[in-house]
Amino acid sequence: MATLLKAKEADLGEFTVQRILPHAEKKMVGPFIFVDHMGPADFPAGKGVNVRPHPHIGLATITYLFEGSILHRDSLGNVQEIYPGDVNWMTAGKGIVHSERETLEVRANNHNLNGLQCWVALPEEKADIDPGFTHVKKEALPHIMKEGLMMRLIAGNAFGHSAPVKTFSEMFYLDILAESGVNIEHPDPALEAAVYIQYGEITIGGQVYRPGDFVLLDSEPGIEVNSCARLIMMGGEKFDKTPYIHWNFVAYSREKINEARERWENGEFPEIPGDNLEFIPLPSRGI
């Protein structure tokens, strides 16, 4: 039976997000341990996304936009503007620092933002790998087209296709646009899965779901599309062990989390070239 999880609002300063995962009823879906829906937000000139440098360990971030753009910088020296449909995958591993801002041209005008920020937990044996960064433009991603249905594979494997981004556990992440009357299958019933409704209306197991709903799938035969809908479907192999998540850190022990806290507090993470004049301070609470 499908399960509806309600998101909660989180204040990021310049704007609020809908925090979908982690959830009290479900910490992870496959490797997905954190999911924020950013927007839809409309910014006047001079305002917008301005996330100062901050660290990560033990995870990979996936930034995927529906509207707007974000300028990514990281401590490996990467500078990349992210546009709708592109995949921005950053592997933190043993430690990386990044910022999420906007170009001067974007910030100088009225603009908008709408997209998802996800964290994928690395398996325990991969948690301390070297950091890395991959950016793939939408044109290079697999597309699956059938009558009334268009799917873009953002990451992982689904429906006989593989996305170019290297992943570290079995997973899938799909952007789906479907017309009314279409039935969408589960990519792999052996894997955990959930759908997030961007717009439109769907029916799963006789229950109707609408925009903003995040629905965990079980053994349902499929998703019935009631009106033209855009869905994000994500999931993967269930983790045997759920890692801790604290601030921007994911780790399999409290000691590793507290070690990362000390490293950030002592200035031991690498700096971002060209964006090293400010940073997000360590929150006071440890674990």
**Phi, psi dihedrals of residue 59, rounded to the nearest 5°:** -150, 175
Please indicate, yes or no, whether the overall pTM of this predicted structure exceeds 0.85.
yes
Residue 51 is assigned to a structural domain of this protein: yes
pLDDT tier, 61 (very low <50, low <70, confident <90, very high otherwise): very high
CA 16 → CA 12, 82, 99, 114, 283, distances in Å?
A: 5, 20, 17, 11, 19
Residue 135 is assigned to a structural domain of this protein: yes
CATH number of the domain that 57 lies in?
Answer: 2.60.120.10
**Do residues 7 and 232 make contact, with C-beta atoms less than 8 angstroms apart?**
no
The pLDDT assigned to 113 comes to: 97
User: Cα–Cα–Cα angle for 138, 139, 142, nearest 5°?
Assistant: 85
pLDDT tier, 35 (very low <50, low <70, confident <90, very high otherwise): very high
Residue 266 is assigned to a structural domain of this protein: no
The pLDDT assigned to 1 comes to: 81
> Can you tell me the mean pLDDT for 103-132?
98
Residue 21 is assigned to a structural domain of this protein: yes
Number of domains forming the structure of the chain: 1
Residue 213 has pLDDT above 70, yes or no: yes
**Phi, psi dihedrals of residue 255, rounded to the nearest 5°:** -60, -40
The pLDDT assigned to 219 comes to: 74
Cα 280 versus chain centre, distance: 20
Residue 227 is assigned to a structural domain of this protein: yes
Residue 277 is assigned to a structural domain of this protein: no
pLDDT digits (tens, 9 = 90+) for 228-276: 999 999 999 999 999 999 999 999 999 999 999 999 999 999 999 999 9
CA 246 → CA 56, 119, 256, distances in Å?
A: 10, 12, 11
> Can you tell me the mean pLDDT for 85-113?
98
> Can you tell me the mean pLDDT for 37-60?
96
Residue 60 is assigned to a structural domain of this protein: yes
Mean pLDDT for all residues in the chain: 95
Residue 197 is assigned to a structural domain of this protein: yes
- 40: cis peptide before it, omega within 30°? yes
User: Cα–Cα–Cα angle for 63, 144, 162, nearest 5°?
Assistant: 60
CA distance 232 to 211: 11
Phi-psi region of 75 (alpha: psi -120 to 50; beta: other; left: phi over 0): alpha
Neighbours of 282 (CB within 10 A): 18
The pLDDT assigned to 15 comes to: 74
pLDDT digits (tens, 9 = 90+) for 140-185: 999 999 999 999 999 999 999 999 999 999 999 999 999 999 999 9
**Do residues 170 and 156 make contact, with C-beta atoms less than 8 angstroms apart?**
yes
Residue 287 has pLDDT above 90, yes or no: no
Residue 13 has pLDDT above 90, yes or no: no
CA distance 284 to 248: 13
The pLDDT assigned to 11 comes to: 77
CA distance 28 to 62: 15
Give the per-residue SS3 of the chain: CCEEECCEEEECCCCEEEEEECECCECCECCEEEEEEEEEEEECCCCCCCEEEEEEECEEEEEEEEECCEEEEECCCCEEEECCCCEEEEECCCCEEEEEECCHHHHCCCEEEEEEEEEEECCHHHCCCCCEEEEECHHHCCEEEECCEEEEEEEEEECCEECCCCCCCCEEEEEEEECCCCEECCCCCCCEEEEEEEEEEEEECCEEECCCCEEECCCCCCEEEEEEEEEEEEEECCCCCCCEEECCEEECCHHHHHHHHHHHHCCCCCCCCCCCCCCCCCCCCCC
The pLDDT assigned to 94 comes to: 98
Domain range holding 34? 3-236
Is 195 or 219 the better-scoring residue by pLDDT?
195
Residue 284 has pLDDT above 90, yes or no: no
